[in-house]
Amino acid sequence: MTEKVHTMHEPADESVDSAARSTGGVAAPANKLIFSVNDLSVDYGAFTAVRDVTLGIYANDITAFIGPSGCGKSTVLRCFNRMNDTIKSAKVHGSILYHDIDLYGPTISATQVRRHIGMVFQKPNPFPKSIYDNVAYGPRLAGLKNKSELDELVETSLRGAALWDEVKDRLKSSALGLSGGQQQRLCIGRALAVKPDVILMDEPCSALDPIATARIEDLMQEIKQQYTIIIVTHNMQQAARVSDRTAFFTTEVNSESDRRTGVLVEYGRTDSIFSQPVDDRTEQYVTGRFG
């Protein structure tokens, strides 16, 4: 593990990570805190989809969000790059600090946020354009026109996404001709081309077969050296395999309505979440007796 030098003791570390719970054994050196989420709640109209989420995300970690469907994993994930702005009824309360900047601050532009925090979606969604144009889309948005620089960036991004060797001879052909797994790696490469800091992945493998899934998981291990990854998955084995930290969400019945609101139950190092969960609900979920 290439842990970043632990500059200073960060007070948020202990309090946020593993909510007043020993991580067991020797405390592993924590990476730098990159996001700190405080009392985050999201409403869709009058319905509160998820409430009171407080956690910290660490640089170069893979953080997994797990939990039964409908517990607000995607909703929380989409707060990190302000994708919820695109949903009219969605309202975000609380704050997300990204390197100490409030992402929902009045002067923050959502488009700029998204250039730092990329996203890969559940269903591969390449543009109906060539493979090259897909990867070049983000850099072109940022104003890059120079052909040789673009070529180089496309190559490094596709190499970064472990797709280069498969597509280098057909960069000009349509991205829609790729297999599902290749399309998803293309989407990862397309996100990498913007040179983000963080990559959000919302169930990136749920539409893929096991072999394509394994490739994406390997890829995540490779790119975590340079990026911070947050992945939503409802596959617990996947969370256990790939992630450093795991946040378990579930739903609670509302007092005022019969709709269920998502809450964060437990957050900590993946091995301890899976081997010695503190909360009963977490234990039931990770042992497969619930959800």
Partner 1 sequence: MTAVIDNTSPAPAMVPLLSDLSSVSGRRRNKNMVMTVLMGVSVVVVGFVLLLVLITVVRKGWSIVVSEFPKWFTKDIQLSPRRAGPGMKAAIVGTIVATATATVIAVPLGIAGAIYLNEYGKRSAFARTLRFLTNVMAGVPSIVMGLFIYVFWVVPRGVDGLNAFSGALALACLMLPIVVRSTEEMLRLVPQNLRDASLALGATASRTTLTVVIPKAAPGIISGSLLAIARAAGETAPLIFTVGAAKATNWNPFSGTNTSLSLQIYANAKESFPTAQERAWGAALTLIALAFLFTFGARALSGRLSRTTES
Ligand X SMILES: Nc1ncnc2c1ncn2[C@@H]1O[C@H](COP(=O)(O)OP(=O)(O)O)[C@@H](O)[C@H]1O
Binding site for partner 1 (CB under 8 A): 81, 83, 86, 88, 111-112, 114-115, 118-119, 121, 123, 125-129, 137-138, 141-142, 173-174, 176-177, 187, 190-191, 194, 289-290
Q: What is the SS3 assignment for 12?
A: helix
Q: Report what 291 binds from ligand X, Mg ion, partner 1, none; CB cut-off 5-8 Å by kind.
A: none
Q: Report what 154 binds from ligand X, Mg ion, partner 1, none; CB cut-off 5-8 Å by kind.
A: none
**Which residue reads 């509160």 in tokens?**
48
Cβ proximity to Mg ion: between 133 and 202 the closer is 202
Q: Report what 72 binds from partner 1, Mg ion, ligand X, none; CB cut-off 5-8 Å by kind.
A: ligand X
Distance CA 133, CA 115 (A): 17
Distance CA 4, CA 6 (A): 6
Distance CA 216, CA 26 (A): 31
Answer yes or no: are the C-beta atoms of 58 and 269 closer than 8 Å. Answer: no
Could you list the residues that contact ligand X (CB under 6 A)?
44, 49, 69-75, 87, 89, 262
Neighbour-count burial for 267-283, b at 16+ CB within 10 Å, e otherwise: bbbbbbbbeebbeebbb
Sketch the per residue contact string, 62 through 101, with Mg ion: x for CB under 5 A, - otherwise: ------------x---------------------------
Distance of CA 141 to the CA centre of its chain: 22
Cβ proximity to partner 1: between 189 and 262 the closer is 189
| Amino acid identity at 184 | Q
Distance CA 265, CA 288 (A): 16
* Smallest separation (angstroms) from ligand X to the CB of 50: 6
* Smallest separation (angstroms) from ligand X to the CB of 134: 25
* Smallest separation (angstroms) from ligand X to the CB of 35: 18
Partners of residue 57 on adjacent β-strands: 35
* Smallest separation (angstroms) from ligand X to the CB of 63: 15
Q: For 152, what's the count of Cα atoms within 13 Å in the CB-facing half-sphere?
A: 6
* Smallest separation (angstroms) from Mg ion to the CB of 206: 9
| Contacts with Mg ion, residue ranges (CB under 5 A) | 74
